[in-house]
Amino acid sequence: MDEYLKEMADILDEESVTANDRLDDFNSWDSLAILSVIAMADSRFHAAFSALDIRGATTVGELYELLSKGTKAS
């Protein structure tokens, strides 16, 4: 989870992020951030997610739960 939070902070252009942070509150939560998350899912979780799947998550922590569950769609 710590590694994940670090990577999410980098993707969102923030110093740090927490599991409770809402994704929509970040100005940087855009198509590029979502593609970066999809790439992270591929390399870190060996899973394929669609942009729609990713948009389904509300918080940083919820997104972690989603990615941990593995391949959902493509």
Partner 1 sequence: MKLVYRGKRIEGLLAIIPANERSFLDEMDQFDFPRGRSLKLKEVMGYDRHRIVDGPVCVSDLAVAGFEHLFGRGLLGRDDFDALVLVTQSPDYFMPATSSVIQGRLELKHDMFCVDINQGCAGFLVGLQQAFMLLDQPAIRRVALVNADVMSRKVSTRDRNSYPLIGDAASITLVGRCDDDAPIHANIKMDGTRRDALIIPAGGFREPSNPDTRTQHTDIEGNLRARDDLVMNGSAVFNFVQTEVPPMIQALLETAQVDVDAVDTYLFHQPNRFMLQKLADKMEVPYAKMPSNVVEHFGNSSGVTIPLALALNLRERVLGGTLTTVLGGFGVGLTWSSMLLPLGPLEFCDIIDYPQVS
Q: Which residues contribute to the site for partner 1 (CB under 8 A)? A: 13, 27-28, 30-32, 34-36, 38-39, 42-43, 48-51, 54, 74
Report the half-sphere exposure of 27 (CA within 13 A, side-chain side): 2
Assign 3-state DSSP to the chain and report helix, strand, coil percentages, each to 5.
55, 5, 40
Cβ-based nearer residue to partner 1, 20 or 43: 43
Cβ-based nearer residue to partner 1, 20 or 74: 74
Task: Tell me the closest approach of the beta carbon of residue 43 to partner 1, in angstroms.
Answer: 7
